[in-house]
Amino acid sequence: MNDPSFDCAKELLEAVPLVMQAIRVEMRSRRTPDLTVPQFRTMVFLNKFPGTALSDLAEYVGLSLPSMSKMIDGLVGKGLVSREGCARDRRRIALALTPRGKAILRKARQGTQEALAGRIGALSQPERQDLLHSLKNLRLLFLPDRSDDRS
């Protein structure tokens, strides 16, 4: 098969786990409390959308509801996330980052991005631009599909 999409797929399968591993290592070597990648994604989302309910968060991050509940337990225990009852629908909870959570997220994100940027710095400027463009494409292509939630 000489399909160019297939070549990309093969390369994706080799490159992505490597990068992911580097991200994981960075995430765990910050001076700040360690964050797993799902925890990090959770915190990024809460930073952007404070007040999110547990179910919505679980769907976005791609975890089961109990798993997300447990993760939030941990983040609340570390003082990184606040969990408050929702007034209008008392079944729901409103999640948000605490000030400490925001600070930790900022440090973790910055540290990880610096480490990644350090490697990327080895590329020429046009190559970096290509990379940026390609990554944006990838993000759009692999965005979770919200269109067929209804069964």
Partner DNA sequence: TATTGTTATACTCTATAACTATA
Partner DNA sequence: TATAGTTATAGAGTATAACAATA
* Residue ranges in contact with its own copies by CB under 8 A: 3-23, 37, 41, 62, 109, 112-123, 125, 127-139, 141-144
* Rounded least distance, CB 40 to its own copies, Å: 8
Give the number of other CB atoms < 10 A from CB of residue 68: 22
Rounded CA-CA distance 33/29 in Å is 9
Which of 47, 75, 42, 43 minimizes the C-alpha distance to 58? 42
Cβ distance to its own copies smaller for residue 49 or 142: 142
The binder of 39, among DNA, its own copies, none, by C-beta within 5 to 8 A per type, is DNA
- Which positions lie near DNA, rule CB under 7 A? 36, 38-39, 53-56, 62-67, 69-74, 83, 86, 88-93
Which of 32, 46, 117, 113 minimizes the C-alpha distance to 83? 46
CA 138: distance to chain centroid?
A: 15
* Rounded least distance, CB 103 to its own copies, Å: 18
Beta strands in the chain (DSSP E): 81-85, 93-97
Q: How far is CA 112 from CA 11, 31, 91, 97, in A?
A: 24, 11, 36, 19
The binder of 103, among its own copies, DNA, none, by C-beta within 5 to 8 A per type, is none
The binder of 91, among DNA, its own copies, none, by C-beta within 5 to 8 A per type, is DNA
The binder of 135, among DNA, its own copies, none, by C-beta within 5 to 8 A per type, is its own copies
* Rounded least distance, CB 143 to DNA, Å: 18
- Classify residue 18 as exposed, middle or buried by CB count within 10 Å of its CB (0-12, 13-18, 19+): exposed
* Rounded least distance, CB 52 to DNA, Å: 8
